[in-house]
A and B are shown apart, each in its own frame.
Chain A
Amino acid sequence: MSFLGLKIWKVTGHSMFPRIPQHSYILSWHWYAINKIKPNQTILIDHPEYGLLIKTVAIIDKNHFIWCKGENLSSISVEKLGPVSKKQIIGRVLKVFIKPHNVTSITLHK
């Protein structure tokens, strides 16, 4: 369910820990993804092998392909994940809601 391109998702998996622990909720905006993607932004991608992923932009190569990474060593490597095109990006993360005993919420400014 989305509203004006805004959508809340639940995060599973640990590759974005400690910034986005498992079971956090995130608010993504699809239209925001149309703007220029930059390194260190947190994005949602529709990966052909791994499905719907949340990752951090590592680099954007000269062919405008986007290479993504996780936030810790347990993540799939940038090379294994491979490049994705802008068409595969389904949103950018605007806000992260973490369990209360950690932090209430984190706003992503990048």
Chain B
Amino acid sequence: MLYNFIKKIDKKIHFSTVSAHCDIPCKIYDPIIAQLAVLTMIRMVDLLDEFKNKNEMSINDHATFSRLVAQKESHGKQVKDEITVIWGDFIKTPQLEKYPELHELVHSIMLVTSSVKQHIDKNTALDLLDKVNRFAEIYWQCKGVNTYTAVCPYPPAQPVIYPALTQ
């Protein structure tokens, strides 16, 4: 109960964070999880948009609608989780000095993700993908890995930043 109370306060005033930094598992970071989550959100928006053309909703339609909204919600949470973990655990002073836009970018990702969760708006979802792609681009640049942009070979067929890994 006390934890939940503190958590509610945290949501209002945002306590400072302290890192229980670890070496072995925490070096495994990859923004692709966040990128896939955004693509899922866009796909869910596309599928939800199809309901606009329906005059009547059957029970099955209602069930499908609910499932799509739930997926959009959960993947929005995943976007936030993945981005904040990389931002909080991987990004440090050298990266911030090189990419001073990072704090603003991460904050705007949080805000736009909330907006995509709240609405069924393709443009906002695409805006989120742009921001998360930019975050991924910066991440790979920090790792010294070149990137390229390609349209993902599955719906929603949007441009995604990929690392140009070599053998």
> Which A residues have a C-beta under 8 Å from some C-beta of B?
1, 7-17, 20, 22, 24-26, 44, 50-55, 70, 72-77, 80, 97-100, 104-105
Chain B: residues with Cβ within 8 Å of the partner, total of 26
Q: Please give, as numbers and ranges, the residues of chain A lying within 8 Å of B89 by CB-CB distance.
A: 12-13
Selected from A8, A10, A51, A75, the residue in CB contact (under 8 A) with B22 is: A75
Contact (A70, B15) CB under 8 Å given A13-B89, A14-B25, A100-B4: no
Against A, the Cβ 8 Å flags (1 = close, 0 = not) of B1-16 are: 1111011011001011
Q: How far is the CB of B109 from chain A (nearest CB, A)?
A: 17
A74–B28 Cα distance when bound, in Å, is 12
Q: Please give, as numbers and ranges, the residues of chain A lying within 8 Å of B2 by CB-CB distance.
A: 97, 104-105
Assess whether A12 is in contact with B20, with CB atoms less than 8 Å apart: yes
Q: Please give, as numbers and ranges, the residues of chain B lying within 8 Å of A7 by CB-CB distance.
A: 16
Q: Please give, as numbers and ranges, the residues of chain B lying within 8 Å of A14 by CB-CB distance.
A: 20, 22, 25-26
A34–B152 Cα distance when bound, in Å, is 56
Q: Which partner residue on chain B sits nearest A27 by CB separation?
A: B6
A77–B21 Cα distance when bound, in Å, is 11
Assess whether A1 is in contact with B21, with CB atoms less than 8 Å apart: no
Q: Please give, as numbers and ranges, the residues of chain A lying within 8 Å of B167 by CB-CB distance.
A: none
Q: A8-B15, A25-B7, A75-B20 are in contact. List 14 more A-B contacts (CB 8 A).
A: A1-B15, A8-B10, A10-B10, A10-B15, A10-B18, A11-B20, A12-B19, A13-B21, A14-B25, A22-B20, A53-B20, A73-B24, A75-B21, A97-B6
Interface assignment of B104: CB less than 8 Å from any CB of chain A: no
> Which B residues have a C-beta under 8 Å from some C-beta of A?
1-4, 6-7, 9-10, 13, 15-26, 85, 88-89, 92-93
Q: Which partner residue on chain A sits nearest B26 by CB separation?
A: A13
Assess whether A74 is in contact with B23, with CB atoms less than 8 Å apart: yes
> Lowest 4 CB-CB distances: which A-B pairs, in order?
A15-B22, A13-B20, A16-B20, A74-B22
Assess whether B6 is in contact with A8, with CB atoms less than 8 Å apart: yes
A69–B93 Cα distance when bound, in Å, is 23
Q: How far is the CB of A15 from chain B (nearest CB, A)?
A: 4
Contact (A77, B4) CB under 8 Å given A8-B15, A44-B18: no
A8–B6 Cα distance when bound, in Å, is 9
Assess whether B3 is in contact with A74, with CB atoms less than 8 Å apart: no
Assess whether A25 is in contact with B1, with CB atoms less than 8 Å apart: no
Q: List 11 A-B contacts (CB under 8 A).
A: A9-B15, A9-B16, A9-B18, A14-B22, A55-B20, A75-B21, A75-B23, A80-B23, A97-B6, A99-B3, A104-B3
